[in-house]
Every structure is written in C-alpha cells, then in structure tokens.
C-alpha cells in the first residue's frame, strides 16, 4: 500500500469510529431530557375528552406504537436496525409522518437558504480581505475594522436587529416563514416572489457574517504570505509582481477553501439560529420544534443529519487536501 492509501484507510477508520459514537449520542442524549412525550401528545389530542378510560387507551396505544415501553437498549437496537434500512422512525409530534419525509421536506429550504449565502459571503469576503492586504492604506483602514465589528456581533443579535429594523419597523420584508401561508407551494410567479421576499433577510444576515469572518481570515493569511521569504526571493530573480501575487493568493487561499468546505458541510447545523429567528422552514426550525415536543425520533433524525454532513465534509477535506497541498503531503510521509 502506498503512503496515500494508508493515510486514506486510517482516516476512514477514525471517521467511522466517530460516526458510531455520534449515532449513539444522537439516540441517547435526547431521551435523557426530563419529560414524557407521550403524555404531552395525548393530553393535546384528548383535549376536551372526559372519559378517562378512553384517554388511558389512547395513551397505551401510543406507548406501544412508539415503542417507548421497551427497555432503552432494546429501543436502541431497533433504532440501529432501522437505520440500516434508511428508516428513521415515525415522528411523535407529527404522527404518523415519517421522520425521513419531514427531513426531506426541510432540507431544500435549509440548503436553499445557506448555500447561496455562504458562497456569496465567502467570495465577497475573500476578495475584500485580499484587496485589503494588497492595497493597504485607507481601504484596509476602513474594511478591516468594519469586518471586525460585524464579526464580533453574535449572530443571534445581528439576526434579531435585522428582523426588528427591516421587517418589524420598516416593514420591507415579512417577519417569518419561508413563504406566505395562504399560498399553496407551486411554480407560479407569485409563489416564487413570496419565497424570495421571505428569503432575503435571513440570506443577507448569513452573507454579512460570512463576509466578516472570511475577510478577516483572508486578510491575515495574505499579509502573512506577502511577508514570506519566497516573495522577496522571487522578486530578486526577476519574477514579475503579478505572478508573485498569484503565488501569494494561492497560498493564502488554501486554508480559506477548508473554511468554505467546512461551512458547506456544517451548513445544515450552522443555520439553526438563523432559521429559528426567522422561523424559516428548514432543519433548524424542525429541530427546535422537535425538542420542545420531546419528539425523540425527529430530534435524533435532525442531529444525525447534522452529524453526518459535518463528518462527510471533514472527511472530504482531509482526502482532497492530501492531494492538493504538498505541505500536508509532506507531513503524511513523515507520519509513516
């Protein structure tokens, strides 16, 4: 086996171990929250009913249906068994909807919100950061503090401020949701228009913080690279500035690409706060609802999805990096 294959297998092994741990935690942690989900659901369903026998029967049916009467370890085995067939169970709160169906309906909203926002924010942030490092002077003196400021506001606060100013006070944008509730999702101009109006504020809030973080990182990296010895050495061999700038840009960019891959990978989990603040119908909002209802299968489903995407993103980065960055390649060689 060559060094790279060994590296690959070793990484793969550790990611699998992590996955097993994540699956267990996803299952057990939510079930350790105090409370009885069935009682909550039944009390809602049987509101107005007086016959305690009927209530009791409904309660018992649900207990059986959800399988919460069995010991926890047995529930876990069933859960794992179902996982292999791609079955994440039935939601308690939205009974009898399947968890996978709920997730499938939520994922497009989350991705549709996050992916464009991350890409736009990442590109703008890196361009601004690189320009600030190259041009220095006034440009740097303005961009850098502004980026630092935006980056230091907690995202939650930023989102709420935007919601308050642009939705509540100015009324430019709707307050919550992914589209007007009266509408039926379809491919009409009106519906798409509604989606875009609802999309704007959460989108901008993510773009803003992404720009801030990326610009700061890129500026630091570029300044570091600009001062590297190879810049002076290349100049003194008569290499033109534009070519040297390309060296610098490329080297400063490599860590930023990790950042991009990571935020895309953590996208599903990364949008939690944004979705909750704007009541956007993605994974984050569902997770929030599920926790309030102690909807174990849905909580586990959401967190599993988040864990999977994070692990997958990291794994992909590790593997690709081993190919493209000779600095990592060299350290792999030393490891063996």
Partner 1 sequence: MTTNILEVSGLKTYYKTRLKEKVFAVDGVDFVLEEGKTLGIAGESGCGKSTLALSLMGFYFPPLHYGSGSIQIHGRDIMKLSKEQLRTQISGREIAYIPQAAMNALNPTLRIIRFIEDIMKEHRPELTKKQVWDMAVERFETLNLSPKVLRSYPNELSGGMKQRTVIAISTILNPKVLIADEPTSALDVTSQKAVIKLMKDLLDKQFIRSLVFITHELPLLYHVTDDIMVMYAGEIVERGTAEQMIFDPLHPYTKKLMGSIIVPEEGMKGHKLAAIPGTPPNLKHVPAGCRFAERCSYAQDQCRENNVAVKEVDGRQYRCHFDTGTLKEWYANEQS
226 touching partner 1, by CB under 8 A? no
Strand partners, 98: 90
240 touching partner 1, by CB under 8 A? yes
Among 82, 87, 200, 234, binds partner 1 (CB under 8 A): 234
User: Smaller CB distance to partner 1: residue 70 or 329?
Assistant: 329
User: Smaller CB distance to partner 1: residue 86 or 238?
Assistant: 238
Give the interface segment with partner 1, choosing from 160-168, 170-178, 216-224, 325-333 (CB under 8 A): 325-333
229 touching partner 1, by CB under 8 A? yes
Distance CA 19, CA 307 (A): 8
2 touching partner 1, by CB under 8 A? no
User: For residue 123, how many C-alpha atoms fall within 13 Å in the half-sphere facing its CB?
Assistant: 5
Give the interface segment with partner 1, choosing from 5-13, 151-159, 277-285, 327-335 (CB under 8 A): 327-335
DSSP assignment of 144-159 equals HHHHHHHHHS-HHHHH
Least Å distance between CB 3 and partner 1? 12
Least Å distance between CB 242 and partner 1? 11
Give the interface segment with partner 1, choosing from 53-61, 195-203, 244-252, 262-270 (CB under 8 A): 244-252
Phi, psi of 171 (to 5 degrees): 65, 25
SS3 286: helix
Among 235, 292, 316, 320, binds partner 1 (CB under 8 A): 235
Distance CA 206, CA 116 (A): 10
- The answer to whether 168 and 180 are in contact (CB under 8 A) is no
Residue 129 structure tokens? 């950061």
Least Å distance between CB 123 and partner 1? 21
Least Å distance between CB 334 and partner 1? 10
Distance CA 24, CA 76 (A): 8
> Which ranges constitute the DSSP H helices of the chain?
3-31, 37-45, 52-66, 72-84, 99-135, 137-152, 155-162, 189-226, 229-236, 241-265, 267-270, 272-277, 283-292, 296-324, 326-335
User: Smaller CB distance to partner 1: residue 151 or 256?
Assistant: 256
233 touching partner 1, by CB under 8 A? yes
56 touching partner 1, by CB under 8 A? no
Distance CA 325, CA 4 (A): 13
238 touching partner 1, by CB under 8 A? yes
Among 239, 316, 320, 323, binds partner 1 (CB under 8 A): 239
- The answer to whether 203 and 157 are in contact (CB under 8 A) is no
Query: Per-residue x/- mask for partner 1, residues 245 to 264, rule CB under 8 A?
Result: --x--xx--x----------
Give the interface segment with partner 1, choosing from 29-37, 99-107, 161-169, 227-235 (CB under 8 A): 227-235
User: Smaller CB distance to partner 1: residue 45 or 254?
Assistant: 254
Nearest partner of 65 among 89, 99, 34, judged by Cα: 89
User: Smaller CB distance to partner 1: residue 127 or 244?
Assistant: 244
**What is the size of the binding site for partner 1 (CB under 8 A)?**
23
241-265 vs 189-226: helix crossing angle, rounded to 10: 130
Kindly list the residues in this chain that would bind partner 1 in the complex (CB under 8 A): 228-230, 232-240, 243, 247, 250-251, 254, 325-327, 329-330, 333
């Amino acid at each position: 086996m060559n060094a790279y294959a060994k590296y690959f297998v070793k990484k793969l092994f550790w990611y699998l171990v992590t996955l097993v741990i994540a699956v267990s935690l996803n299952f057990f942690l939510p079930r350790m929250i105090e409370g009885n989900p069935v009682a909550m659901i039944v009390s809602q369903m049987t509101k107005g009913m007086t016959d305690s026998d009927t209530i009791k029967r409904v309660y018992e049916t649900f207990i059986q249906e959800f399988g919460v009467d069995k010991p926890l370890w047995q529930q876990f085995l069933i859960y794992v068994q179902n996982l292999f067939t791609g079955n994440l169970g039935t939601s308690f709160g939205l009974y009898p909807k399947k968890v996978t169906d709920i997730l499938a309906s939520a994922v497009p909203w989350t991705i549709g919100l996050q992916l464009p926002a991350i890409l736009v924010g990442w590109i703008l942030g890196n361009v601004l950061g690189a320009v600030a490092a190259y041009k220095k002077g006034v440009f740097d003196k303005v961009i850098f503090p502004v980026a630092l400021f935006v980056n230091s506001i907690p995202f939650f606060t930023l989102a709420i401020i935007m919601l308050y100013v642009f939705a509540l006070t100015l009324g430019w944008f709707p307050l919550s949701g992914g589209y007007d509730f009266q509408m039926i999702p379809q491919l009409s101009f009106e519906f798409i228009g509604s989606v875009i109006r609802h999309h704007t504020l959460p989108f901008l809030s993510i773009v803003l913080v992404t720009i801030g973080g990326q610009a700061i990182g890129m500026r630091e990296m570029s300044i570091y690279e600009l001062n590297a010895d190879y810049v002076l050495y290349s100049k003194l061999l008569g290499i033109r500035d534009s070519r040297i700038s390309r060296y610098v840009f490329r080297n400063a960019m490599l860590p930023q690409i990790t950042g991009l891959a990571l935020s895309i990978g953590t996208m599903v989990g990364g949008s939690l706060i944004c979705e909750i603040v704007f009541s956007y119908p993605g994974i984050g909002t569902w997770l929030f609802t599920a926790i309030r209802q102690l909807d174990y299968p849905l909580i586990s489903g959401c967190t599993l999805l988040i864990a999977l995407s994070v692990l997958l993103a990291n794994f992909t980065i590790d593997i690709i990096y081993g190919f493209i960055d000779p600095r990592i390649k060299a350290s792999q060689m030393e490891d063996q």
